[in-house]
Amino acid sequence: MPDEMAALIAASGQGWLSVDKPVGWSSFQVVARVRKQTGVKKVGHAGTLDPFASGVLVVAVGKEFTRKIESVQAQAKGYLVRMVLGIETDTLDPEGRIVSVDEGVLTRRRVTRFFEDPQFQHEILAQWIGEISQIPPRFSAKKINGVPMYAMARKNQEFEIRPTHVRIDSIEVVGTRMTKFPTIDLRIRCGKGTYIRSLVRDVAVALGTVGYAQLLVREFIGDYQLADAISVEAIPCGF
């Protein structure tokens, strides 16, 4: 499948390309790489992945396909996230500055109960299933009057963050680790515009502590699966 996608684009000069974005790359850098490798100027992506995240980034190559980006953005997405309890960063991810540490996180009754009681896990996570209102992270690409919030946050500017309405279909606990700062691995299926970092923050608050997303992998967008994505090194070169 990955080789077939690359071959089709190499043959026609346009199409969809599912790339496994590596940690440390921005979504824009992947688009720039595709543009450079293919020589096609009209290139875009169907949904930003933060630099600390990895996984499926669907890239539209050619004018015919960039026009259809919204159709891919609207499809369901799947993520695997590792949240750390007891530490919060200003970006809600590993790249930010630590702003809060809860040294007593292991004494929080709701935290220990979450690790011990599957039914309590379900009760906590059920709060975010369905159509919900969500406060985006301060450090996000969401724009206010045309300016990305992260640009204003970096300058310590004050601004109002308005809630967005998103849909979360399912949240599943797939792993836990009870260390000094315990971790929870969640698998999430959701709709367009969902901020996983915000969900991590809100789950941590519901457990009586703070938290951040240490690791984030986008496993699929619609029918585009991570197993079928190509590496940035495998992006086709020229036509």
Residues 87 and 69 in one domain: no
Residues 206 and 227 in one domain: no
User: What CATH number should be reported for the domain holding residue 136?
Assistant: 3.30.2350.10
What is the per-residue pLDDT across 24-69, written as a single tens digit (0 to 9) for each?
999 999 999 999 988 899 999 998 999 999 999 999 999 999 999 9
Q: Which of 20, 50, 93, 102 is catalytic?
A: 50
pLDDT at 155: 83
Low-confidence ranges of the chain (pLDDT < 70): 1-13, 238-239
Report the number of distinct structural domains present in the chain: 2
Cα-Cα-Cα-Cα torsion 53, 16, 62, 4, nearest 10 degrees, comes to 120
pLDDT at 109: 97
pLDDT at 2: 55
Residues 66 and 141 in one domain: no
Residues 86 and 162 in one domain: yes
pTM as predicted: 0.90
Assess if residue 239 is contained within a domain.
no
pLDDT at 202: 98
What is the per-residue pLDDT across 215-226, written as a single tens digit (0 to 9) for each?
999 999 999 999
Residues 214 and 96 in one domain: yes
Do residues 168 and 188 make contact, with C-beta atoms less than 8 angstroms apart?
yes
Alpha-carbon distance 75 to 96, whole Å? Answer: 29
Amino acid at 123: E
Residues 125 and 51 in one domain: no
Residue 81 has which token pair?
Answer: 């996230």
Gyration radius (Cα) of the chain, Å: 19
pLDDT at 239: 47
CA angle 165, 187, 229 (to 5 degrees): 95
185 included as an active-site residue: no
Assess if residue 64 is contained within a domain.
yes
Alpha helices in 13-158 (DSSP H): 27-38, 63-66, 69-73, 109-116, 118-125, 149-154
Residues 40 and 21 in one domain: yes
Q: Which residues contact 81 (CB under 8 A, 6 or more apart)?
A: 185, 186, 188, 196, 199, 200, 213, 215, 216, 217
Q: Which domain holds residue 43?
A: 2-75+222-234
Residues 116 and 206 in one domain: yes
